[in-house]
Structure formats: C-alpha cells, structure tokens
Amino acid sequence: MIADAARAFTAKLNETTPRERAGLAMLAAIAAITALVYALDWAGRSAQAAEAATQSAADNAALQAAFTDEGQRRALASDAGDVWRWSRRADAFASEEVLGEIENLVLQAGFSDARVTLLEAPAARGQVGAIEASVQASFDWASFLALLEALETAELSVSVRSIDVSENEGAQSLAMVFSVPAIESDEPER
C-alpha cells in the first residue's frame, strides 16, 4: 500500500513542470524552516523551564537549610526579642515613658530649653505602630552630635523622622521629630 502510494506520488511528480517542482521544493523548504523554528523555540522553553526548576529547587534547599540551622534560628529569635525589647508596649503609660526617655536623652546631650511634646499616640490594639514626639530646643553642634551618639547607643529604638535647624538673632534652635515603635500585645499584663 505504501509502495503504491509512493509510485503514484513519483508518477505525479514526473508529470510536473520544472517550475512546479521548484515551487514544491520552496514549500518543502519553508515547511522545514518552520518546523526547525518551532523545534528551537520548544527546546529554548524547555531549557528555561529546566533552569527555573533547578533554581527553585536550589532556593528551596537553601531555605530549608536556613530553617533547620540552629544558629540561624537562634539569631532570628534574638532579632525578634530585640524588636520586643526595643519597642514600647502601647499601653496607657507608654507615651509618658517615651517622652521621659527622649527628654532624658536630650538633656544629657546638652540641649537647653528643651520642650518635648507628644505628636502621635500608640497604634490600635493588636498592631505595630509608633509613638511620635517632637523636640524643640536651643542647641550647639556639639550637643547635636552628642544626641546622635546617645541615640545610637540608647536601649530605646528611636528613629529621627525630621530635623529642622534655624537661626534667629544669633541663637540656633532645633526642631526634631522622633518615632519610637509601639507594639500592642493581646496578652494580658502580668
């Protein structure tokens, strides 16, 4: 059956003109090039999928190793403990405690006429928020640098949100806004 079909095809091919044969050869070449392009595209996609699977497996292995590494788990627990230790519990007295600690840092740094005021109360229940306080004072650059060093070594995690320095009639004044993380815990106080 296949031999009969091949003979019939050969007979029809012998009946075609050279121009028709050239056209058929051109169509066969176009079909071969199209098949080659699709095969190369498929091979490229397969290689990309294999590379992505290999990378995903490597990422998963690294993540698994990090989770099972006792040193990594201890470091993570220490960092989580630092967040709790450096933050203030958002209770009724948190704002007053933070204001007192910031005022202490400012006075120890050598600022004069410091006024510390509360800008924003702690976050709502069950959330992490911030207690924001403003400091306005007369200062010199040595006291400013002393305050920055005190903030760096303070037990309280204080971030400086803004600093505004002005000079009026030869006297320098400073306005700073501080932010202290506050965590509202759902646990009852002991």
Q: Is 169 a member of any domain?
A: yes
Q: How far is CA 70 from CA 3, 57, 58, 73, 75, in A?
A: 73, 22, 20, 5, 9
Q: Is 188 a member of any domain?
A: no
The pLDDT value recorded for residue 97 is: 82
> Are 95 and 175 in the same domain?
yes
Q: Mean pLDDT, to the nearest integer, of 135-148?
A: 89
Q: Is 105 a member of any domain?
A: yes
The pLDDT value recorded for residue 190 is: 45
> Are 94 and 147 in the same domain?
yes
> Are 59 and 93 in the same domain?
no
Where does residue 154 rank: exposed (0-12), middle (13-18), buried (19+ CB within 10 A)? middle
Q: Is 127 a member of any domain?
A: yes
Q: Is 156 a member of any domain?
A: yes
> Are 114 and 167 in the same domain?
yes
* Least confident window among 11-25, 44-58, 113-127: 113-127
Residue 122 DSSP class: P
Domain count, the chain: 2
Q: What is the mean pLDDT of the chain?
A: 83
Asked which of 64, 97, 118 is the last residue of a domain, the reply is 64
> Are 128 and 178 in the same domain?
yes
Q: Is 166 a member of any domain?
A: yes
Look up the pTM and report it. 0.50
Residue 100 is part of which domain span?
88-183
pLDDT tens digits, residue range 93-115? 777 888 888 889 998 988 888 89
Q: Is 70 a member of any domain?
A: no
The pLDDT value recorded for residue 6 is: 86
Using left for φ > 0, alpha for ψ between -120 and 50, and beta otherwise, residue 130 falls in beta
Q: Residue 171: which residues within 8 A CB-CB, separation 6 or more?
A: 138
* 115 contacts 149 by C-beta, under 8 angstroms: no
| pLDDT of 189 higher than 70 | no
> Are 51 and 116 in the same domain?
no
User: How many whole angstroms separate alpha carbon 59 and alpha carbon 174?
Assistant: 49
Q: Mean pLDDT, to the nearest integer, of 176-183?
A: 84
pLDDT tens digits, residue range 41-97? 999 999 999 999 999 999 999 888 877 888 888 888 887 776 666 565 656 677 788
Q: Is 19 a member of any domain?
A: yes
> Are 57 and 92 in the same domain?
no
> Are 107 and 156 in the same domain?
yes
> Are 133 and 52 in the same domain?
no
> Are 60 and 94 in the same domain?
no
Q: Residue 106: which residues within 8 A CB-CB, separation 6 or more?
A: 114, 116, 135, 137, 147
- List the CATH number of the domain containing 129: 3.30.70.60
